[in-house]
A and B are shown apart, each in its own frame.
Chain A
Amino acid sequence: MTRLDFELQFARGDFLLAATARIEAGVTGICGPSGAGKSTLLALLAGLLKPQSGHLHFDGDTLIDVRAGHFVPPWQRHFGLVFQDGQLFPHLSVRDNLLYGYKRLSPAQRRFELQAVVELLEIGALLARRPAQLSGGERQRVALGRALLYSPRLLLLDEPLSSLDERLKQQILPFLLRVKTETAIPMVYVSHAQAEVDYLADRVLTMADGQLQPSLATRDAASGLARGSAGL
């Protein structure tokens, strides 16, 4: 079943992004060099940027329809976004960071509880600390936990490991795999590191010069689950 369906065009200065895809459940990796437009695409999906034209549907909901003047703001999309450098709120403790999105949900919308996420990501010892007292790897795990506790319909991960060294990346990747298998939240994972994407993704799209294309390395190409872009 198609969960995310979009056709988006976005221009800023000389940069032009044009992306079309239908994405199913599971993890969709988007790979490409720096400056290709991967983060811009995630910002468009999250609602942090407005496209000049196009549409975006998720699970039957229309989130963007430029022609009809329809745009659902990020706080009403219920998507989680994990940023490259965590973006933890410096004035809040780890516990309050984790609960920031959770507190803004009605009890019926809450799929995960603090204790379960804390155990999943092994961050129980960090709850009373401030973000400035965390290492890079700890910060990213807390950022992931904060997005999970928001019980997102779709989890967007924007190069979540790029600021970490190789040792920390190897520590975090298994946590991401656990999130994938234990929560079953559909994810879009953006990275310039092909190995990370191969490790996690069920299918891979490639972004180059603002254009989204199906990757030759798409792992489930045979099943036809992912169909990326222009030309498909």
Chain B
Amino acid sequence: MTLSPQEWQALWLSAKVAACATLLCLPPGIALSWLMARREFAGKALIDTLIQLPMVLPPVVPGYLLLLLFGTQGPIGGWLQQHFGIVLAFNWKGAVLASAVVAFPLMVQPVRLAFRMIDTRLERAANTLGAGRLDTFLSITLPLALPGIVAGAVLCFSRSLGEFGATMSFVGNIPGETRTLPLAIYSFTHVPDGEAAATRLVLLSIALALGALLASHAIARRAERRLGYHDPRGDTARARSR
């Protein structure tokens, strides 16, 4: 299966947008997941609802809201352009933002669960060994949450690869700039003799999604093995202790 330059362009742009959206989601995703898993505070239910909202809204809605806020005439977009010369609407950086907004809830869910599953007594043990709060978070909590963080990052990446509605509303369908794989597939289905190219890109999308999920599975297994969850020698040792 050989790809045309246009198809390669869509593939490369999708990978770039999805990778950047995942990186953009990671810091706030980890911070918010920890907050939601470990702290009780007023308004928690509201924040939880807002985090999940993009998942249940039609994707065009967050896309249109992004256009209103981050468009060159919007309050945030206008300010960014005026002070930093940053323009998000109708370019690939805007596609990153659209993908990040829609994929964010998918990152938060597994990371939050991973933080909740960690035995807090391990963190207290670290405290009694001279590790302060940040040190404990970096040396104990974060490594123990790694399988969940990997799962969240892969889900976020995969969702970003498939992002269509919000991207179309916010940054349009510009070849080489914002035309990611789903938009390219959509465009090919609307031109004469585009079925073959659309089919190739559909197959490629399936392969990419499968590859990402398999990679996530392998990384999570490796991380879990490091944590001793899948260790055949562990069973032997436990049997010996009995």
Query: A residues near B, CB below 8 A?
Result: 46-48, 73-75, 77-81, 83, 87, 89-91, 100-101, 104-105, 129-138, 146-147, 150, 165, 168
Contacts and interface: CB of A to CB of B under 8 A. Distances in A.
Contacts of A87: 119, 121-122, 124-125
Given A91-B226, A137-B241, A130 B231 contact: yes
Interface stretch (B58-66, B102-110, B128-136, B194-202): B128-136
Nearest to B129: A101
Given A74-B128, A135-B238, A135-B241, A91 B227 contact: yes
Contacts of B233: 129, 132-133
5 contacts: A48-B127, A74-B128, A75-B130, A135-B241, A150-B130
Given A83-B121, A91-B143, A133 B234 contact: yes
Nearest to B143: A91
B129 to A, nearest CB: 3
Contacts of A101: 129-130
B55 interface: no
A75 B226 contact: no
Given A131-B228, A132-B231, 6 more contacts: A46-B128, A75-B131, A87-B121, A100-B129, A100-B139, A132-B234
Contacts of B125: 81, 83, 87, 89
B126 A100 contact: yes
The bracket for how many chain B residues form the interface is 20 to 34
Contacts of B131: 75, 100, 104
Contacts of A146: 129
Contacts of A75: 127-132, 135
A125 to B, nearest CB: 12
B39 interface: no
Contact of A89 (B126, B128, B132): B126
B240 interface: yes
A48 B130 contact: no
A32 to B, nearest CB: 21
A146 B131 CA distance: 13
Interface centre among A48, A75, A79, A146 (most CB of B within 10 A): A75
